[in-house]
Amino acid sequence: MAENTLNIYEKKAEEMTRMNMIGKEAVFEQTDGGFLSLDADGVHYDRVKIVRLFPFSDADKYLSVREYEGDGREIGIIEDLDEMPEGSKQAIEHQLMLTYFTPVISKIFSIKDEYGYAYFHVMTDKGECRFAINMGSNAVSKLSDTRLIIMDVDENRFEIRDVESLSQKERRMLDMFL
């Protein structure tokens, strides 16, 4: 009986260390409810989660596909989203759109600082928006010398892909937070 248990743990450990790659033959579909289903290796999953393993450095590569139910066991890893068939790709992209929301700032209209908070008015890839950051905390963090993540008071995240692509004027406004 005890050996049995040991086997369970060994199996678990083995499962955890195994690299399962998910290839083109797996079929991802968007469900009526707006979530994502998967058929792979003869198994049907009503709903799966997609996790970006390198959300900043390689957002569309190495996506971990996990079960929704239970403790979210990993079903496998998609190496490159672009290599998936069009249908699956679209369904996955829709799911990522739902679970990752990091607007990318393309233009800074103004930054006004008032009593410890800075108010941003920007254009992002998700549309125009205004947000506020706390100047006392480390609201702006650097991913690299030119790439920034800005966390607002609500813990929304905004990204600036390349500071150098901003105009001189916009960069000067940002200087206070670098």
Partner 1 sequence: MILRYDIPGTIEKQITLSENEKIYYAVPIDIDANGKWTGDSYLIVTTLKIYICNTSVTDVLIINELENAKAEACVGGGILSVKKDGRHMVLAHYSSRHLARYAYVARGINILISGRFEEVISHEYERICPNCGRVIPGTKTCPKCSGEGRFLGVFLKMAKPHKKQFFGIFFLMIMAAVTTLLNPEVQKHLINNVLEGGGDMATALRFLALMFLLSAGIVIVNVMKSNASARLGSRIASDLRGQLFEKYQKLPLSFINDRRPGELLNRITQDTRYISDFMADVFCNLFAILFIFIWDVIFMLVLNTKLALITFILVPVVSIIMISFRKTMGRIFHLQYKKNDDVSSDLQDVISGMRVVKTYGKEKDESERFKRVAGDFALIQKRNERFWAGFDLIVSFLMGLGVVVVVYFGGLDVLGGSMSAGELYQFITYTLLLFQYVGWLGRLPREITRLTSSLERIYDILAQDVEEEDKDLKEFDIRGEITFDHATFGYKSYQPVLEDINAVIKPGEMIGIVGASGTGKSTLINLLMRLYEIDDGRILVDGTDMKDISQKSYHSQLGVVLQETFLFSGTILDNIKFSKPDASALEIIKAAKLANAHDFITRLPDGYNTYVGEKGYTLSGGERQRIAIARAILPNPNILILDEATASLDTENEFMIQKALERLTKGKTTFAIAHRLSTLKNADRIMVIDGHHIAEIGTHSELLERKGIYYNLYNAQIQT
Contact string (CB under 8 A) for partner 1, positions 121-140, x = contact = ---x-xxxxx-x-x------
The overall longest dimension of the chain from CA atoms, in Å, is: 72
97 binds partner 1 (CB under 8 A): yes
Residue of the chain from 17, 18, 116, 164 that contacts partner 1 (CB under 8 A): 116
Binding mask 60-89 for partner 1 (x = CB under 8 A): --------x-xx------------------
153 Cβ contact partners less than 8 Å away, ≥ 6 residues apart: 117, 131, 132, 133, 134
Judge whether 42 and 65 are in contact, CB under 8 Å: no
121 has which bridge partners? Answer: 110, 130
Task: Tell me the window of 19-27, 56-64, 84-92, 152-160 that interacts with partner 1 (CB under 8 A).
Answer: 152-160
What kind and span of H or E run contains 109? strand 105-114
**Rounded alpha-carbon distances, angstroms, from residue 36 to 6, 46, 73:** 35, 7, 16
Q: Is 34 in the site for partner 1 (CB under 8 A)?
A: yes
Q: Quote the least distance from Cβ 157 to partner 1, whole Å.
A: 5
Compare residues 78 and 150 and give the one whose CB is closer to partner 1. 150
Report the residue from 31, 110, 141, 146 that binds partner 1 according to the rule CB under 8 A.
31
Q: In this chain, which of 98, 104, 106, 167 binds partner 1, going by CB under 8 A? A: 98
Residues 100 and 159 sit within 8 Å (Cβ to Cβ): no
One of 17, 114, 164, 169 touching partner 1 (CB under 8 A): 114
Asked if 163 interacts with partner 1 (CB under 8 A), we say no
Compute the distance between CA of residue 165 and CA of residue 147 in angstroms, rounded to an integer: 10
CB 42 within 8 A of CB 95: no
Site for partner 1 (CB under 8 A): which residue of 55, 60, 161, 163?
Answer: 55
